[in-house]
Chain A
Amino acid sequence: EPEVTQTPSHQVTQMGQEVILRCVPISNHLYFYWYRQILGQKVEFLVSFYNNEISEKSEIFDDQFSVERPDGSNFTLKIRSTKLEDSAMYFCASQRLAGGREQFFGPGTRLTVL
């Protein structure tokens, strides 16, 4: 069964460093998302992406964040200058069609900022 994959599973970085989190969505899906979950807290929406552009972004998704779909398969989240408070699980999700259809989540990347 097709699934969303994410790399790396765990990333440790120093504050102020840039990180790139990678996702490979399910191949025939058209809508892509990044969510994050700080330990012990709820899952929060960061950004949605469709047709090679951002559809919507949350207040969390400030100028330090960017997303890209550099080729037909990868979907990346870049944090330019990491802060301690960026430590969280980052989940990529993909959705085949709009209309409130189901989103499938990848296994996540645990980001630890020291």
Chain B
Amino acid sequence: QKEVEQNSGPLSVPEGAIASLNCTYSDRGSQSFFWYRQYSGKSPELIMFIYSNGDKEDGRFTAQLNKASQYVSLLIRDSQPSDSATYLCAVIKDFGNEKLTFGTGTRLTIIP
């Protein structure tokens, strides 16, 4: 079982719609969860992180965490063509051992 799993996509969403990206993780004790955006040939850029169960909103982005289901998601409202990128889910398993474990990423395309 992969440590962090994401659907590789591609996921195509019309401009202005909501894009929903999902991620599951295998280590039930994982502590914090990150969404990074990566444009082709570029480095990961942090969008959001979440520690606690529930929703966390930042502008057009909402992260959702359900530790019981070992599931984290990212919603992008009012999707724009500039949101077209690969979205990486990453987890830190325990504090004090802070390496990020990444999923393979979901490629998102926003269709104008």
- Chain A residues close to B by CB (< 8 Å): 31, 33, 35, 41-45, 48, 55-56, 58, 89, 91, 93, 95, 98-108
Chain B contacts of A31 at CB under 8 A?
98
Contact status B98-A100, CB under 8 Å: yes
Q: Mark B54-79, 1 if CB is under 8 A from A, else 0.
A: 00000000000000000000000000
Q: Mark B77-112, 1 if CB is under 8 A from A, else 0.
A: 000000000001010100111111111110000000
Contact of B100 among A45, A55, A99, A108 (CB under 8 A): A45
Report if B42 contacts A (CB, 8 A).
yes
In the complex, which residues 31-49 of chain B have their Cβ closer than 8 Å to any Cβ of chain A?
Answer: 31-32, 34, 36, 42-46, 49
Q: Considering the complex, give the chain B residue whose CB is closest to the CB of A99.
A: B95
Chain B contacts of A95 at CB under 8 A?
98
Contact of B43 among A41, A102, A108 (CB under 8 A): A108
Q: Considering the complex, give the chain B residue whose CB is closest to the CB of A40.
A: B104
Knowing A43-B88, A100-B31, A100-B51 touch, does A91 contact B99 (C-beta < 8 A)?
no
Return 7 A-B CB contacts under 8 Å, by A number. Answer: A35-B100, A42-B104, A43-B90, A48-B98, A98-B98, A105-B36, A107-B42
* Separation of A106 and B45 alpha carbons in the complex (Å): 9
* Separation of A91 and B45 alpha carbons in the complex (Å): 12
In the complex, which residues 4-51 of chain B have their Cβ closer than 8 Å to any Cβ of chain A?
Answer: 31-32, 34, 36, 42-46, 49, 51
CB distance from A75 to the nearest CB of B (A): 15
CB distance from B75 to the nearest CB of A (A): 19
